[in-house]
Structure 1
Amino acid sequence: MTQRIHIAGGGIMGMGAAWRLASAGLEVVVHDPAGPGQETSRASAGMLAPRAEVRHDEEDLLVFGARSQAMWPDWVARLREETGIDCDLRSPGTLVLAADEDERRGIEHHLRWLERIDVPFDALDGDDIRRLEPDLSHHVLSGALIHGDGQVDNRAFLHALHVRLQSLGVTLLSASRITRVVADGGRVTAVETADGERHDTDAALIAAGAWSRQVRIDGLPPLPVRPVRGQLLAFGAADRHGQRTTLRHAIHTPNVYLAQKGDGTILAGATMEERGFERETNTGALYLHLRETRRLIPQVDELPLEEIRIGFRPTTRDNRPLLGETPVRGAWCLTGHFRNGIQQAPASVDAVVDLILGRTPPADTLPFCPSRFLNR
Structure 2
Amino acid sequence: MATSTTGHAIVIGGGIIGLATCFEFQDAGFEVTLIDPDPISGATHHAGGMLAPTAEVQYQQQALVPLMKESARLYPDLIQRVTQHTDLPTGYRTDGTVLIGADRADAQHLSELIDYIKAEDLDIETLTTRQARQLEPALSPRIAKAAAIDGDHQLDPRLFARALFDAVLARGAQHVRETVSTITQSTTHQSVTLSSGARIEVDSSDVTVLAAGLGAAKITGWFDGEHPLQLRPVYGDVLRVRVPESLQPLTTRVIRGFVEDRPIYVIPRDDGTVTIGATSREDQPHPRTSAIHDLLRDAIRVVPGLEETEFLEATCGARPGTPDDLPYLGQVRDNLIVSTGYFRHGILLAALGARTAVQLATGQQTSQAVASCDPFRHATSTLNV
Structure 2 length-normalised TM: 0.90
Post-superposition offset of 1:304 = 0.8
Residue 104 of structure 1 and its aligned partner are, at CA, apart by 0.6
- 1:338 matched to 2:323? The reply is no
Q: 2:123 aligns with which of 115, 120, 125?
A: 120
* 1:349 shift after superposition: 0.9
Q: List aligned pairs for 1:43-82, cutoff 5 A.
A: 43-82=46-85
Letter paired with 1:368: C
Distance 1:318 1:295 in 2: 33
Task: Give the match for residue 12 of structure 1.
Answer: 16
Change in Cα spacing, 1:217 to 1:253, as seen in structure 2 (3 Å) is: farther
Decide which moves more: 108-117 or 19-28.
Answer: 19-28
Match of 1:207 in 2: 211
Q: Which structure 2 residues correspond to residues 26-105 of structure 1 after superposition, within 5 A?
A: 26-34=30-38, 36-105=39-108
Q: RMSD of the alignment, in Å? A: 1.9
Q: How many residues align?
A: 368
Question: Using the alignment, how far apart are the partners of 2:6 and 2:93 within structure 1?
Answer: 37
**How big is the shift at 1:2?**
8.3
Correspondent of 1:262 among 258, 270, 284: 270
Q: Deviations over 1:313-343 (max 9, x none)?
A: 11111100111112x4422111111111111
The verdict on how the C-alpha distance between 1:26 and 1:245 changes in structure 2, with shifts beyond 3 A counting, is closer
Q: Which segment is superposed worse, 102-111 or 159-168?
A: 159-168
Mapping for residues 284-363 of structure 1, pairs under 5 Å = 284-326=290-332, 328-363=333-368
Consecutive aligned runs of 4 or more in structure 1 exceeding 4 Å deviation: none
Verify the 8 A CA contact 2:54 2:123 in the aligned structure 1.
no
Provide the C-alpha distance between the structure 1 equivalents of 2:249 and 2:22, rounded to a whole number of angstroms: 38
**Partner of 2:85: helix, strand, or coil?**
helix
Aligned to 2:90, the other structure's residue is in SS state coil
- Aligned partners of 1:2 and 1:285: how far apart in 2? 48
Aligned-partner Cα distance in 2 for 1:21–1:357:
10
1:183 to 164, 178, 185: 185
1:275 pairs with 2:275: no
Counterparts of 2:279 and 2:37, CA distance in 1: 25
CA 303–149 in structure 1, closer or farther in 2 if over 3 Å, else same = same
User: Can you give the 5+ residue segments of structure 1 that lack an aligned partner in the other structure?
Assistant: none
Contact 2:243 2:308 in 1 (8 A): no
CA separation of 1:141/1:82 partners in 2, compared to 1, >3 Å: closer, same or farther? same
Contact 2:57 2:117 in 1 (8 A): no
Tell me by how many angstroms 1:89 deviates: 2.2
Offset at residue 188 of structure 1 (A): 5.1
Q: Does structure 2 retain, via aligned residues, the 8 Å contact 1:2–1:357?
A: no
TM-score by length of 1: 0.92
Q: Is the 8 A contact 2:292 2:314 kept in 1?
A: no
1:248 and 1:188 mapped to 2: Cα distance? 53
Cα deviation for residue 267 of structure 1 reads: 0.6
Matches of 1:91 and 1:110 in 2, distance apart? Answer: 22
CA contact (8 A) 1:2 1:356 kept: no
Q: Distance in 1 between matches of 2:180 and 2:142?
A: 50
For 1:5, the aligned partner's letter is A
SS of match in other structure, 1:92: coil
Letter in 2 for 1:219: F
